[in-house]
Every structure is written in C-alpha cells, then in structure tokens.
C-alpha cells in the first residue's frame, strides 16, 4: 500500500487528481485503447473532480478515450432526482468534460430486474478489458461503495440494503429527512473492485479517521470492507492530516517520510504536443 | 459531436459562457435548445447519448426569457385601433420591430372604439407563435369601451358603453368575437359587471380593472368574480386614499381568494409614474408587478413632429406631446427601457427586473409553464426565448437559436 498524507482536503484532492491525470496520460488512450476508470460519488471526491475538470479545461487532459464505471446507484430513485448518482456525476463531472455518454456506465436502479442489471454491469467491465484504476472512498463504517459491514470480501455487483449508519450519513442530502433516503442500492462488490489493476481510496476528514485505522492497521475483516485492499497488489490511500488522527505515529511518520518519492508520481508530465 | 438521433434528427444548439435566468436566479449554466424547446442536458446525455451540433459563445451575457408586453397600442406609425384593411400587416410590422427591444410575445391593444372597428380588426389577427419574423401574438387586449366616463383618460367619450342586461351577449355584439382576445379591461363599478367578469374569466380571458372610479370593495368583488389584473396602476383610477384605497388597495387586500394573485401593469417609463409611487407599489406587492409599455403609434419614430391619424404628435426625447403643448399623448417607451428604468429606480435585482417583464406577464396570462421561463421543455424558439438587455455591467445578446447573433450595446 502507498499511504499519501497531505495537509488538507484541497491538497489531497489535487494530489489524487494529478495522479489520475498522469495515469491516463501515461496510458496514452486512443480509439482502440480506452482507459477504464472506476469512479465514486459523495462529498470526498468533489475536490478531485473539480481539479480534473480544470486539467481538461486547460487542455492538459482529455476524456475522449476514457470509459468510466461508477461504483453504485440508489434503487428506486428517479434518474433525474437531484440526489441520484446519475445527477451527481452529470452535474459534478460529465457535463464539464469531453467524455462521451456511451463511455459512461452507471448502474440503473430503476430496472425491473435488478440482479440482471448487476450481472450485465460486470459483463460490461469485462468487455471493456477490466478497470485500470478504480477510485473509491470510504464510509465512516469502513465500507467501500455500498459494501456494508458484513459484506463478502469476494462479492460481486449486487443489490444491497443500506446500513443505518449509511442512511444517516446520507440524510444530509435529503433535507435531513431519514424517510426520504433510499434504503437499497446497487453496488459493485468488493471482489469487483479487487479485480481492478490499481485501486485508489480517497479519505479525508476526522470522521473517517477510525475507519482508516481499521482499514490499514488492523486485519482484513469483512466488518471493515476497505481492509480487503490490504491484499491488492497496487493500492493507494490518499488522505489529509485529519484522517490520520487514529493511526499510530509510527505509521504516519513512515509514510510522510516517503512523500518525496511518492510525489514523483504526480509531477507534471514532460510537455509534449497536445493530443486531440 | 452530433447527437445520436435516437429521439430526433433536429440539430441541438448549446449556448455556452452565459448566465441563465432560471428558478428566480441567474445561474451559470449552459442552455441547450432543440427545435425550439429547451432541453434537459442530463436527459440528453444519459437517455439519448446526445451532444450539441453547434455551440454559441454568449460572452458572459445573460439569457433570459423573452419579454411579454400585454399592453401596446401600436408603434412605428401603426395604430392597432385603426380599422384598416391590412391590420395584420401592421401587427406583423410592429411584431418584428419590437423583437429588438427583447419582446417576443405581445397583446395588441385596442382603445375604446365603436363596434365597427372591433368587427373589422379582431378577425384579421389570430393568436399565433412568433419566430425570426416577429414576436408572437398572444391575443388582443381590449381596453374599453366598458369603462368609466369619469376616468376615460384619452379614450373617446362617445364610444363608451355600459353593460346592458344579457351581459356577455351584449359584449359579444360590441366586440363581434372573443376568440383571439386575451385581456379585457373594464370598470367594475358599471352595473352588471359581475356576471360579465365571471363569464369572461370562465372563458379563460383575463379580466383587468382599469379606467375606473371603483372603490376597494367593488374592486375586490370583481377579483372574487375572476378579475386578475389592474391596467396601468395609478393611471385612470381613483388615487390611493387611506380610508378607501380604491383599486390600488388590491395590492395588499386580504379579500383576494386563496391561491390567486392580482397582477398590476406598470408603465415604468419615468414619466407616467413617479419613481416613488413605483417603489411603493413594488414594495407592497413585488410578485404582482407586470411591466407594460402602453406604447402608442409614435413609439419608435424619430424625434420631431409626426401626423398620426387625426393628431399631430411631437416627440422630444422620451416624451410624446400633443404638438405645440405639454400634454402627454401617450407612452413611447420601449420594453427594454422600462426594464432598465424599473431596475434603476426600484433598486431590485437583475432577475426581478427581468421577471417583471417575462415571468409575471406569463403567469398573468396563465401560460407560465411554456413561456416566461427557461425551464426544460419551455419554448425556446425565436419568438419565445430571448435574451437581452443592457445594464451598465451587462451586455445584452439577442441570440436566436437559428439566427446570427446580434448585440444591443449599452
């Protein structure tokens, strides 16, 4: 694992965005070679999305040959509801960049056969050649996507009933009214994310600190599903100071000491003629 | 990248780098239009996987719904109350010219006239949508002849009428037809008005109170029967009195039926209404304010003397006088001037000023879901969507979806 510790939310967002930018540029996507990106929703990645949009607007990055797969979507929420994950992705990312609609994939929580939708999503990922980089967040209860505590660590895309903690955490997006929050969601499984070539988890804020501690300093445990990535060969955790508050001083010092090495990963690429 | 044509073959235009008046605020958003309708770009993206065929850069301008003028008597030498053979040409001519002021829909207004005039003029013009050729006609505004002799203003006294028994039938005899009529202004104190107001309202015609000496309770009674508008507030009605506010009192009356709003026309040309009076009305009832021009034939003509019908008018700046006198002969303000003036003297926001000329008249006429707003599904075509106007720090753009850009400078 690489643990990247930045001073604050904005720096963490920028580091993550630069990392994604560099990965895409190094891959050199083209019409026959798409870069596949797994994407999260929520407040944590907003800063990262803003930065990626900035890189697109500056002409440094194009999403023309990028395919995206979102982690999850609520069940039963109308697609154009302002809190649906479709709306989130449109308003916070897709509408500002040059990605083609047919290259975006978000689970449809309004189909008649939810499990068939999940199976088809898995097939689409396989058809796209698997995911190069899966970006995710972590819930206060240590979940990745909607893989709530107790989810199988080898699970695949499926329907999940949301935990009370998650519903309460999401209530702020529904006027604080618990009754308005959807109780079920479609989500990629832990196993689905583990299949990605590389996984990057964004964790910011003191309220996520305990989950980060459980995820990286304790054992692999299905009660803290993000811990599964201890067994992935290429995982990066990008966090701010506040998120490290529950970690051992030794852990934090070790990884901070590595920043000069890790920062090489986000250096601006050598200038070259702009593609597209 | 072109749309994938799964829903429609029509090209999609995306207006970028603009501010849109939507949901009562100016939002920094792109506007997407296809075949004269405003699109929801999110639906377009996910459902149709579609994109814009053409992008128009608005340079930071505001895109606002087109203005709706519900009281305009003519302009550019054309008088709508003239019983000529080519009324519809005259209406079309004015319709094209007022596009330049940002007006995309209007109600040609006829002042008090004899039945022959109504019978000749009304059938010649139908309600129709506008386009690049000119603003759309929403229906006639018949201001009179059922008005008060005491408050006739410039209307010819010999053609004033009262309601005979048989209310609406008598009205039909006078007007001939109500098919393409959007608004009727009448004086509610005239005996027999109640049933007329009720029947007109039930037919979907907006009833407006004006040129009237009614007291507040007569006015409230008319509102309860369905009246919903006041013709040029303050003008041609009893002045506000603290023990009987008259028609002006409707702005703050507590006897308006629940869920209904009384709108009021305001000529904000700086001449017909003192700015202090304009502010009082605006502060008392901001959501009911509807900007109107009440423009006469002389509007749009250059300064100097003009012979219009039986009158000689002299235009000096923003004033139109009966030649050789200082008697005002009517308003020659254009709608964009009124919007600008209103914003300046009331201190309201840009969006409030724009809404007073677009959203409020659309709500008044009951066409608000389709016009007067830039919501998804609204009409966006040349006649209905426009943009515009110029405030000191804001440039205006008239950007018809399918026509080249034009800018109105400050």
Per-residue pLDDT tens over the stretch B322-367: 788 877 777 999 998 899 999 999 999 988 999 999 999 999 998 8
- Average pLDDT of span B34-62: 82
Nearest to A79 among B30, B46, B49 (CB): B46
B40 and A86: CB-CB below 8 Å?
A: no
Q: By the CB < 8 Å criterion, does A79 face chain B? A: yes
With 90 as the cut, is the pLDDT of residue B286 above it? yes
Q: Which of B311-320's residues contact partners 24+ apart within 8 Å by CB, and which partners?
A: B318/B269, B318/B270, B318/B271, B319/B271, B320/B296
Residue of B42, B43, B49, B51 to mutate, interface with A, max A Cβ within 10 Å: B42
Instruction: State residue A162's pLDDT score.
Output: 87
Residues of B in contact with A90 (CB under 8 A): 41-42, 45-46
State ipTM: 0.83
Mean predicted lDDT score pLDDT of chain A: 94
- Write the DSSP symbol of residue B249: G
Query: Residues for chain A: how many in total?
Result: 276
Q: Which residue of A has its CA nearest to B45?
A: A101
Q: What is the DSSP string of B99-117?
A: GGGTEEEEEEEE-S--HHH
Please tell me which residue in B269, B294, B336, B379 is annotated as part of the active site: B294
Q: CA angle, B264 as apex, B268 and B101 as ends, to 5°?
A: 40
pLDDT category of residue B405 using cuts at 50, 70 and 90? very low
Q: Please list the helix, strand and coil fractions of chain B in percent, rounded to the nearest 5, in that order.
A: 25, 25, 45
As annotated, the binding site of B includes: 143, 154, 211, 232, 235-236, 243, 272, 328-330
With 60 as the cut, is the pLDDT of residue B391 above it? no
> Is B272 in a helix, a strand, or coil?
coil
With 70 as the cut, is the pLDDT of residue B398 above it? no
Residue of B28, B46, B47, B50 to mutate, interface with A, max A Cβ within 10 Å: B46
How far, in Å, CA of B410 to CA of B397, rounded? Answer: 11
Query: Residues for chain B: how many in total?
Result: 410
Q: What is the DSSP string of B204-247?
A: TPEEEE-SB---HHHHHHHHHHT--EESSTTTTBPPP-SS--GG
Q: By the CB < 8 Å criterion, does A34 face chain B? A: no
Is A222 within 8 Å of A259 (Cβ atoms)? Answer: no
Instruction: State residue B275's pLDDT score.
Output: 94
Instruction: State residue B322's pLDDT score.
Output: 79
Instruction: State residue B383's pLDDT score.
Output: 29
With 60 as the cut, is the pLDDT of residue A273 above it? no
How far, in Å, CA of A152 to CA of B325, rounded? Answer: 92
Instruction: State residue B402's pLDDT score.
Output: 27
Is B230 within 8 Å of B187 (Cβ atoms)? Answer: no
- Average pLDDT of span A119-123: 97
**Paired sense of beta strands B25-28 and B19-22, if any:** antiparallel
H or E stretch at B385? strand B385-387
How far, in Å, are A79, A108, A176, A210 from residue A171 at the CA level? 18, 21, 5, 21
Whether omega before B140 lies within 30 degrees of 0, making that bond cis, reads no
As annotated, the binding site of B for substrate includes: 154, 235-236, 243, 272, 328-330
B49 and A100: CB-CB below 8 Å?
A: yes
H or E stretch at A22? helix A9-27
How far, in Å, CA of B114 to CA of B107, rounded? Answer: 20
How far, in Å, CA of B228 to CA of B186, rounded? Answer: 12
CB atoms within 10 A of CB B313: 21
B41 and A79: CB-CB below 8 Å?
A: no
Nearest to A86 among B46, B50, B51 (CB): B46
With 80 as the cut, is the pLDDT of residue B2 above it? no
How far, in Å, CA of B390 to CA of A58, rounded? Answer: 31
Give the burial string for B31-51 (b: 16+ CB within 10 Å, else e).
bbbbebbbbebbbbbbebbbb
> A132-161, pLDDT tens digit by residue?
999 999 988 899 999 999 999 999 999 999
How far, in Å, CA of B313 to CA of B315, rounded? Answer: 7
A101 and B46: CB-CB below 8 Å?
A: yes
> A31-75, pLDDT tens digit by residue?
999 999 999 999 999 999 999 999 999 999 999 999 999 999 999
Nearest to A100 among B1, B40, B46 (CB): B1
**Annotation: CATH topology of A2-264:** Rossmann fold (3.40.50)
Tokens of B365: 């006429």
Nearest to A90 among B45, B48, B49 (CB): B45
State what percent of residues in chain B have pLDDT above 90: 52
With 60 as the cut, is the pLDDT of residue A188 above it? yes
Q: Which residue of A has its CA nearest to B49?
A: A101
From chain B residues 367-386, the ones with a CB under 8 A of any chain A CB are: none
With 60 as the cut, is the pLDDT of residue B381 above it? no
- Write the DSSP symbol of residue A142: -
Selection from B61-70, B83-92, B276-285, B378-387 with the highest mean pLDDT = B276-285
Of the candidates A187, A133, A123, A189, the one whose C-alpha atom is nearest the C-alpha of residue A159 is A187
Q: By the CB < 8 Å criterion, does B28 face chain A? A: no
Kindly give, in sequence order, each residue whose CB lies less than 8 Å from that of residue B399, ignoring residues fewer than 6 positions away: B15, B56, B58, B61, B63, B386, B387, B405, B406
End-to-end CA distance of chain A: 34
How far, in Å, are B290, B344, B354 from residue B398 at the CA level? 22, 22, 14
- Average pLDDT of span A168-174: 85
- Average pLDDT of span B12-30: 84
**Any idea which residues of A carry the catalytic annotation?**
72, 141, 143, 148
Q: What is the DSSP string of A110-132?
A: T-S-HHHHHHHHHHHHHHTTS-S
Residues of B in contact with A94 (CB under 8 A): 45
B42 and A100: CB-CB below 8 Å?
A: no
How far, in Å, CA of B271 to CA of B266, rounded? Answer: 11
> Maximum Cα–Cα distance for chain A, whole Å?
53
Instruction: State residue A92's pLDDT score.
Output: 95
Higher pLDDT: B381 or B56? It is B56
Is A19 within 8 Å of A62 (Cβ atoms)? Answer: no
Lowest mean pLDDT across B44-48, B125-129, B214-218: B44-48
- Average pLDDT of span A222-231: 96
Q: By the CB < 8 Å criterion, does A85 face chain B? A: no
Instruction: State residue B317's pLDDT score.
Output: 83
> B72-122, pLDDT tens digit by residue?
999 999 999 988 888 999 999 999 999 888 888 999 999 999 999 999 999
Within A150-252, strands assigned E span 158-161, 184-187, 198-203, 235-240
Is B283 within 8 Å of B315 (Cβ atoms)? Answer: no
Spans of all domains in chain A: 2-264
| HSE, side-chain direction, 13 A CA sphere, residue B328 | 17
């Amino acid at each position: 694992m690489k643990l990247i510790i930045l001073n604050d939310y904005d720096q963490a967002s920028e580091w993550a965005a630069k990392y994604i930018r560099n990965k895409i540029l190094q891959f050199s996507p083209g019409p026959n070679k798409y870069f596949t990106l797994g994407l999260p929703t929520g407040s944590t990645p907003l800063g990262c999305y803003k930065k990626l949009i900035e890189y697109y607007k500056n002409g440094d990055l194009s999403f023309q040959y990028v395919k995206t797969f979102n982690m999850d979507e609520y069940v039963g929420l109308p697609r154009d509801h302002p809190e649906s994950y479709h709306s989130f992705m449109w308003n916070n990312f897709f509408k500002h960049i040059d990605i083609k609609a047919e290259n975006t994939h978000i689970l449809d929580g309004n189909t008649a056969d939810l499990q068939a939708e999940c199976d088809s999503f898995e097939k689409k990922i396989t058809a796209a050649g698997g995911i190069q980089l899966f970006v995710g967040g972590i819930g206060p209860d240590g979940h990745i996507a909607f893989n709530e505590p107790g989810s199988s660590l080898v699970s695949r895309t499926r329907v999940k009933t949301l935990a009370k903690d998650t519903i309460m955490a999401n209530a702020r997006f529904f006027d604080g009214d618990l009754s308005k929050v959807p109780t079920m969601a479609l989500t990629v499984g832990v196993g689905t994310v583990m299949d990605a070539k590389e996984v990057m988890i964004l964790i910011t804020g003191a309220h996520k600190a305990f989950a980060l501690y459980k995820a990286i300093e304790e054992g692999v445990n299905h009660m803290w599903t993000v811990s599964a990535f201890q067994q992935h060969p290429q995982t990066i955790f990008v966090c701010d100071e506040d998120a490290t508050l529950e970690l051992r001083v030794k852990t934090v010092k070790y990884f901070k000491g590595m920043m000069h090495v890790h920062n090489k990963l986000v250096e601006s690429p050598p200038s070259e003629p702009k593609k597209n | 990248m072109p749309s994938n044509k799964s829903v429609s073959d029509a090209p999609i235009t995306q207006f970028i780098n603009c501010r849109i008046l939507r949901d009562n605020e100016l939002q920094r958003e792109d506007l997407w239009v296809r075949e004269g309708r405003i699109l929801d770009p999110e639906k377009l993206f996910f459902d149709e996987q579609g994109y814009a065929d053409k992008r128009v850069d608005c340079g930071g301008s505001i895109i606002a719904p087109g203005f709706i003028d519900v009281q305009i008597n003519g302009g550019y030498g054309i008088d709508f109350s003239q019983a000529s053979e080519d009324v519809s040409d005259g209406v079309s001519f004015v319709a094209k010219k007022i596009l330049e002021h940002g007006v995309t829909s209007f109600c040609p207004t006829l002042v008090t006239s004899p039945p022959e005039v109504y019978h000749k003029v009304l059938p010649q013009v139908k309600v129709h949508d506008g386009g690049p050729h000119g603003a759309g006609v929403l229906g006639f505004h018949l201001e009179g002849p059922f008005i008060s002799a005491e408050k006739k203003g410039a209307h010819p006294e010999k053609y004033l009428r009262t309601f005979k028994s048989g209310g609406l039938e008598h009205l039909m005899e006078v007007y001939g037809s109500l098919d393409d009529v959007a608004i009727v202004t009448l004086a509610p104190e005239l005996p027999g008005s109640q049933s007329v107001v009720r029947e007109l309202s039930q037919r979907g015609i907006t009833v407006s109170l004006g040129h009237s000496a009614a007291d507040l309770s007569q006015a409230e009674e008319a509102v309860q029967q369905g009246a919903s508008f006041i013709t040029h507030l303050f003008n041609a009605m009893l002045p506000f009195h603290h023990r009987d506010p008259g028609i002006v009192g409707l702005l703050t009356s507590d006897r308006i039926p629940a869920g209904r709003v009384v709108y009021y026309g305001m000529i904000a040309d700086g001449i017909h209404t003192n700015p202090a009076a304009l502010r009082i009305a605006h502060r008392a009832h901001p959501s009911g304010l509807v900007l109107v021009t009440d423009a006469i034939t002389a509007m749009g003509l250059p300064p100097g003397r003009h012979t219009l019908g039986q009158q000689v008018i002299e235009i000096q700046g923003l004033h139109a006088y009966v030649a050789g006198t200082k008697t005002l002969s009517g308003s020659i303000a254009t709608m964009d001037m009124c919007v600008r003036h209103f914003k300046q003297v009331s201190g309201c926001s840009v969006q409030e000023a724009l809404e007073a000329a677009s959203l409020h008249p659309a709500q008044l006429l009951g066409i608000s879901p389709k016009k007067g707003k830039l919501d998804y599904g609204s009409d966006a075509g040349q006649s209905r969507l426009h943009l515009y106007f110029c405030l000191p720090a804001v440039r205006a753009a008239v950007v018809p979806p399918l026509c080249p850009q034009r800018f109105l400078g400050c």
